[in-house]
Structure 1
Amino acid sequence: MNYKGLETLYWVARLNSFNKAAIHLNTTQSSVSQRILALEAELNIKLLNRTPRYIHLTDKGKIAFKYAEKLILLNEEFLSTIAENDSCIESTIRLGTSETIVHTWLVDFIDVIYREYPYITLDIIINITPVLKEMLKNGELDMVFMLDHTCDFDCIQRPLCSFEQNFLVSAEFGKRFQSKGAFTFRDLTRSTMISYPKNTHPYLDLKQQLNQLRLLEPKTITSYSLTTLIKMTEEGMGIGVLPHYSVLKELREKKLYLLPSEIHLRPYHFLCVYTIGSDDNVKHNLADLAVSVSSKAMKKLSQQFKSENFYLF
């Protein structure tokens, strides 16, 4: 029995797309079609019915799919068991991550992987949570570090870390608030805010609190790029609503300052999420590493933050 044919059938049916299956299997769409045709010819049965919008397994195809899934899992178990050490398993993992992670502990994570699993290659994509989730669902990524988000597909989710947000300003911009005491919601409505777009968790949390107080939303400059948000805040274009652990370097260099505030913003939580069906043991080990590295990194960042005073006044 051709293993690649069954593996291809599994991913075509799971992703409901020849093209997405080809991306996941790192091959071409024509190759995927040929594998399915060869498998059907070998078994002398029809496995798939195709329409312009959907791909349906036949009754025999459903049986083949179940056995294909078992075979893939058994193959993963075999590769894991036969290897003398997990660190010797060669694999390429397509990892998607939020930029907040990039600014805090991603480098530490990569460093540990290359020491403990030298045969693993990482292909890293940086994007926002909705995009990362869709890429994982479509088989374009193997694992993602993303904001806590409802997933409508089979996956493993592991809690990673949480980030608090603060109001940050340049020294020049912040002078206007020095004589007013703690920063308030009314101060915010009269200011320009620099934040993630209005459909993201940080902004929606702030909007909800403003609505409860029946206050208007402030003028806002938005971007999905954390680097861009930091730069605009440094340039004095407004008050940045940012995760402060991501800007410790800028705080130490006195490019940014924390603005004392009576406003409490809820932290947002990150997950490590991955699908099963290929390289399962590798992804499980990398998830364990991510949990460990993020925990140590966040404790270190917390200690560094508490040891210094980064407030403007």
Structure 2
Amino acid sequence: MADRRLQVFSAVAKHGSFTRAAEHLFMTQPAVTFQIKQLEEHFNTRLLERGHGKVSLTPAGEVVLAYADRILDLSEELESRVSELTDELGGTLSIGTSTTIAAYWLPKLLERFKHKYPRVIPRVVVGNSQLTEDRVAARELDLGLIEIVSEQPAIERFTAARDELLVICRPGHPLASKSRLTAHDLLDHAFITRDPGNAIRELAEQFFAAAGIGIDEVNVCAELGSLATVKYLVGEGIGFAIASFAAIQRDIREERLVSVPLEPKQYTPLEVIIPKDKFRSSLITTFAEHAVAELSVMAAALPERE
């Protein structure tokens, strides 16, 4: 219901870029530029300074942004309040999720939610856990599903479940025959790690640090953002990696990979996060409660490890 020009202006101001705002809003860059031009013509003044690839606010732009954010928040609250009177949840829900949760937990979670609330339109943005946490804290997303314990004061978190972390390697790899693996057991082998900001990368580094091993002492042979690529390279014998139990079920069943527990055992948390100071609609609350319950059920349904 809010003026689309204000939504676009707020996104450009917060992202500092027409391109990033367009990506966030699922618009083309020319469409974003047109909306900003219309808003500046409406106020008959320049609201943004463009230059050197960055965008900054003019004094008038700072005033407009302050009011735009208040108007957008009130508009969202109005939509939610009226929707709640119909006793049927509906509308768009912006969800951020880590790559592992998106691939192995989210599909069934969304399927069950859509069966209950068919008028809800989930809009999912996939990134690593740190990026998702930052976007929820900045109120760019309604809710996040991540694999790190958030300590940000702007975040309210709910722990849904946890998933064991395991070493994965190809059959025949020297590590494949072990029953348990300590950090020192891994030092002589090539390690395929994840991209910065990825929760499993952080947990792996903590695992080594707890054993007195700095990450610079580990034989890192690749840093990858895609778990599918990690598993492929592991299967080709390039190195070992650390992955969550849920993410490797099919690979283990089909004997493409071997998994070995860490010693001491390590776990990744499955966390549902929402902005602490954001108006909380019934839709956000309902999905958060659904996500916590479903993740707990799915985690409990994973096959027992020997």
Is 1:168–1:240's contact at 8 Å kept on the other side of the alignment?
yes
CA RMSD of aligned residues (A): 4.2
Shift of 1:111: 0.5
Aligned length: 295
Distance 1:274 1:31, change over 3 A: farther
Deviation at 1:293, TM superposition (A): 1.7
Contact 2:149/2:269 (<8 A) preserved? no
| 1: CA distance, partners of 2:9 / 2:37 | 11
Task: Name the CA shift for 1:193/1:68 in 2 (closer, same or farther; >3 Å).
Answer: closer
Match of 1:173 in 2: 173
5+ residue gaps in structure 1? none
What does 1:76-155 correspond to in 2, within 5 Å?
A: 76-83=76-83, 84-85=85-86, 87-91=88-92, 93-132=93-132, 143-148=143-148
- The match for 2:74 is 74
CA 26–248 in structure 1, closer or farther in 2 if over 3 Å, else same = closer
Unaligned runs of 5+ in 2: none
Q: Is the contact made by 1:23 and 1:140 (CA closer than 8 Å) also made in structure 2?
A: no
Partner AA of 2:186 in structure 1: L
Deviation, structure 1 residue 40: 1.3
Structure with more of its chain in strand, by fraction: 2
Task: Give the Cα separation in 1 of the matches to 2:55 and 2:216.
Answer: 47
The match for 1:48 is: 47
Distance 2:96 2:208 in 1: 28
Aligned position for 1:192: 190
CA contact (8 A) 2:96 2:126 kept: yes
| Cα deviation, residue 165, structure 1 | 1.1
Q: Hey, what's the Cα distance between the residues in 2 that align with 1:57 and 1:152?
A: 30
Q: Which amino acid aligns with 1:145?
A: L
User: TM-score of the superposition, structure 2-length normalised?
Assistant: 0.72
Offset at residue 291 of structure 1 (A):
2.0
2:49 maps to a residue whose letter is: R
Which residue of structure 2 aligns with residue 36 of structure 1?
39
Q: What is the distance in 2 between the residues matched to 1:214 and 1:75? A: 48
SS of 1:172's partner is coil
Letter in 1 for 2:189: S
Distance 1:224 1:272 in 2: 21
Distance 1:194 1:17, change over 3 A: closer
Preserved CA contact (<8 Å) 2:183 2:207: no
Measured in 1, the distance between the counterparts of 2:38 and 2:170 equals 59
TM-score between the two structures when normalised by the length of structure 1: 0.71
| 1:30-56 alpha-carbon deviations (Å, 9 max, x no partner) | 232234224415xxxx58363634533
Counterpart amino acid of residue 225 in structure 1: S
Q: 1:17 to 1:227 in 2, by over 3 A?
A: closer
CA change 1:20–1:283 in 2 (3 A) is: farther
Structure (1 or 2) with the larger CA radius of gyration: 1
